[in-house]
A and B are shown apart, each in its own frame.
Chain A
Amino acid sequence: MMKDCLIIGAGPAGLSAAISAAQNGVDVTVIDEFMKPGGRLLGQLHEEPDHVWWNGIEEAQKLFDEVLNQSIDLKLGTSVYHIEKANDNWLVHTNEGIYRGKTLLVAAGAAERSIPIPGWTLPGVMSIGAAQVMTNVHQVKPGHNGIVIGINVLSLAIARELQLAGVHLQGIVLPPEHLLTKGVSHPMDVFQSLLHLTHLAPSPLLKWGGLLAGKSAFIQRLSLQMYPKNGFKLWNISVQMKRVVTEIVGHEQVQGVKTADLTASGDIVPGSERTIPVDFVCIAGGLYPLVELVGVAGCPFKYIPSLGGHVPIHDERMKTPVDGLFVAGNITGIESAKVAKAQGHLAGLSISEALGKLTENAEIKRAIEHIEKTREKALIQFHPDIKKGRKHMETIAADFQKKEVSGQ
């Protein structure tokens, strides 16, 4: 059956797009391989500065209720593995057969970068997001006593979530230094990126922002030299910017990690090596847009580090240069779920417009402004230069359009 619109991804972006498109009379099918709607929103649990909890499960339920209200067709447990265009229509190949649509929105979200550390394939080593989903979505603890490798906004937030669920953490430490960890394994780089986070959030970044901000001014004065070997405590979890995991050890599964202390310049302190027993390890290497599917659909990319890597070229209305192909959410750049939702809402309107079901430009303008406002207020910022990255993409998309028009 031919649909007006197919949406890949039932995360905040895909669901919001489905809702705004359906509200304009667009006939939509949303496809997702996870067994529940909500995408990565499901695992999220943050305390906002006003002490209200951002509970991803509840937020996802709200979107799902609206999807049911609009009688939107939702296919869960369905994996997309190929996309093609035939006679101006999209064919989306899944393990449950082929879906057809006049327009296509790819809202596949983000994936986690891994950091290969000796021993990282042992059972019990997992990405930080895996631990989040296990704990908050399935309500199973990743282990009883673990350690987090990689210090960034996501690992700090999820470490707290693990602690809330009663999981003990030995701390959050650095990965060993090698080519792939450039910029995230040196104490000074990580130190500066954390200072950036506090600078970004004058209102406390998560709740610990205040603590971090207070501490960092102090630490800044005394310099990283004085940074305590055992780190500072964030909700009683020690953040150890001068400790590194050099190897994960265990027979058949994780039993411990070998750690060492670092000097402020990033060298291992001789004689500081020791083994800490743990039953699980989380690796936090950061997020990147999951773009394979839009690549298959023929969309051109641009590499913009502040957006998380290679992102599909798209204009401020979420339209790609490929006719009938739209993108929204983290596939366009790594940001919080609220921004993804706002982008999805806009994409749903743009799709309605493309199908001739929406002629009112004012609504689209408002949706664009709403994204900017949401970005401005976002509690979790994944990159300090996100706004510059977004502007950069806008100019690239505009240039692209000019070239197309002039036939270059």
Chain B
Amino acid sequence: MDAFRVTKHPVLKLKQNRKEIAFVFEDQPYKAYEEDTIASALLANGIRMLRRHEESGSPRGVYCNIGHCFECRVTARGEEGVRACLTPVEDGMVVSSGKQLPTPFKEGDQ
């Protein structure tokens, strides 16, 4: 879970001795640190794809990281449409990504 962590910095004080927590994303177990968001925890584990676009099925990840774009929507704590960039990851949290939905009523389809 540390492949992408900042490990050396000339100016910033790096967070140390943080509590380790475990969570699940798409049925896979992962580790993170307290204070991580769902998005930062997944990226630290090398995971960028958070969901698939509901219609096109194209992969999506974090874009703005501050709650504006809603690109990072996931399901967490049983709630849909949660922004991964604004939501702290919790010990035992189960996170899943959005899926491509069938679009039976899409214009042009009969």
Contacts and interface: CB of A to CB of B under 8 A. Distances in A.
Interface string B41-63: 00110001110010000111111
Given A123-B59, A129-B66, A130-B62, A140 B9 contact: no
Interface stretch (B11-19, B21-29, B99-107): B11-19
Interface size bracket, A side = 35 or more
A155 interface: no
B66 A139 contact: no
A138 B86 CA distance: 11
B64 to A, nearest CB: 5
Overall SS of chain B's interface: loop
Given A45-B11, A143-B4, A138 B64 contact: no
Contacts of B108: none
B40 A140 contact: yes
A114 B68 CA distance: 12
Contact of B48 (A55, A139, A253): A253
Nearest to B49: A123
A224 interface: no
A226 to B, nearest CB: 34
A144 B5 CA distance: 10
Interface in A11-51: 33-35, 40, 45
A35 B65 contact: no
B68 to A, nearest CB: 5
A140 B4 contact: yes
Nearest to A124: B48
B67 A136 contact: no
A138 B63 contact: no
Contacts of B61: 122-126, 253
Interface of B: 4-15, 35-37, 39-40, 43-44, 48-50, 53, 58-69, 71, 85-88
The 9 closest A-B pairs by CB, nearest first: A123-B61, A130-B65, A138-B40, A123-B48, A139-B6, A165-B6, A123-B49, A140-B40, A133-B65
26 contacts: A33-B86, A34-B66, A35-B37, A45-B11, A55-B12, A77-B88, A111-B68, A112-B68, A114-B69, A121-B60, A122-B59, A123-B49, A127-B64, A127-B65, A130-B64, A139-B12, A140-B5, A140-B43, A141-B6, A142-B43, A143-B4, A165-B9, A166-B9, A252-B59, A253-B49, A254-B48
